[in-house]
């Protein structure tokens, strides 16, 4: 689904509100993912994009949640695993209360409006072996804590991957009884075991992108400014290397077929975007 210009204006208002809060509290952030790609390629939203992506360092992540919980405008809300028991992701969302949608990704949440994803970025090991181990731990947590096991097994059974159903069932049988908090703790310990600060990525919360998200620290810092929809927002130091790592060397070629829609049948709920 391609969202309307009205909804993109709303997303921009949300981004401005978050930028103002981060600036007030000296929190370093940068545009990430499709939002950064849109800024670099279109000087604004990718025509078919329907959300906003932001990155912050893990060391600032707790403070980010705290200030957003207390200072977001009244028409916005924080969605995290500390304020919503049904939300198990390791990243957080800023949700718009003035909209709602019927996406299957959001059916279990109270807040279903337009959103900004805020991803925590961690230092990652230099060793390719350790990276493989860390990625496996992150994938294990994703499967046992976040993912819908029944949906995954059904999907594999009806595609060309039915051989994956039995391994999934066995893994869930032996490991599914372990409390979810154990997997969160294990992932946190793995992250904290990294002592070097030469490479950064956000694959601990999105294992699918673990290896693609890894870049040298100098790709991120010092933060610069880029234009997005006529405004200046924070961006990584080397946008070209950042986007190449994530999307490949031909990232400037538009490819709508690679986009995963987040919103479906958006409905408006008229609430002014004002401070609480």
- Give rounded-to-5 percent helix, strand, coil for the chain: 45, 15, 40
Tell me, what's the pLDDT at 24?
97
Tell me, what's the pLDDT at 261?
72
Tell me, what's the pLDDT at 156?
47
pLDDT single digits (tens) 226-257:
999 999 999 999 999 999 999 999 999 988 77
| Residues 81, 98 contacting (CB under 8 angstroms) | no
Tell me, what's the pLDDT at 146?
80
Tell me, what's the pLDDT at 46?
92
Q: What are phi and psi of 56, to 5 degrees?
A: -140, 160
pLDDT single digits (tens) 179-209:
888 888 999 999 999 999 999 999 999 998 9
| Residues 95, 79 contacting (CB under 8 angstroms) | yes
Tell me, what's the pLDDT at 276?
41
- Segment 43-61 shows an average pLDDT of 94
**CA–CA gap between residue 194 and residue 201 (Å, rounded):** 12
5-122+200-268 CATH pick, 3.30.460, 1.20.120, 3.30.450, 1.20.1740: 3.30.460
Tell me, what's the pLDDT at 275?
44
Most confident of 56-65, 103-112, 138-147: 56-65
Q: Where are the domains of the chain?
A: 5-122+200-268, 128-192
**CA–CA gap between residue 25 and residue 92 (Å, rounded):** 18
Strand, helix or coil for residue 200: strand
Give the distance, in angstroms, between the CA of residue 109 and the centroid of all CA atoms in the same chain.
17
């Amino acid at each position: 689904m391609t969202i309307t210009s009205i909804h993109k204006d709303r997303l921009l208002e949300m981004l401005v509100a978050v930028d103002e809060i981060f600036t007030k509290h000296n929190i370093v952030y940068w545009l990430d993912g499709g939002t950064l790609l849109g800024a670099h390629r279109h000087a604004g939203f990718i025509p078919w994009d329907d959300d906003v992506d932001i990155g912050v360092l893990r060391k600032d992540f707790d403070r980010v949640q705290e200030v957003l919980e207390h200072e977001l405008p009244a028409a916005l809300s924080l969605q995290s695993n500390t304020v919503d028991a049904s939300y198990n992701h390791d990243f957080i969302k800023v949700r718009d209360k003035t909209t709602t949608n019927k996406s299957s990704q959001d059916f279990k949440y109270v807040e279903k409006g337009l959103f900004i994803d805020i991803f925590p970025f961690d230092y990652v090991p230099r060793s390719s072996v350790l990276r493989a181990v860390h990625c496996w731990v992150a994938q294990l947590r994703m499967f046992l804590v976040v993912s819908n096991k029944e949906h995954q097994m059904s999907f594999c059974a009806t595609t060309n991957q039915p051989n994956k159903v039995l391994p999934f069932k066995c893994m869930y049988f032996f490991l599914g009884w372990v409390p979810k908090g154990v997997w969160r703790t294990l992932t946190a310990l793995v992250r904290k075991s990294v002592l070097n600060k030469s490479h950064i990525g956000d694959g601990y919360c999105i294992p699918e992108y673990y290896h693609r998200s890894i870049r040298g620290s100098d790709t991120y810092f010092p933060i610069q400014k880029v234009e997005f929809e006529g405004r200046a927002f924070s961006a990584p130091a080397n946008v070209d290397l950042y986007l190449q790592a994530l999307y490949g060397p031909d990232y400037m070629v538009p490819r709508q077929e690679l986009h995963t829609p987040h919103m479906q049948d958006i409905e408006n709920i008229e609430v002014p975007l004002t401070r609480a």
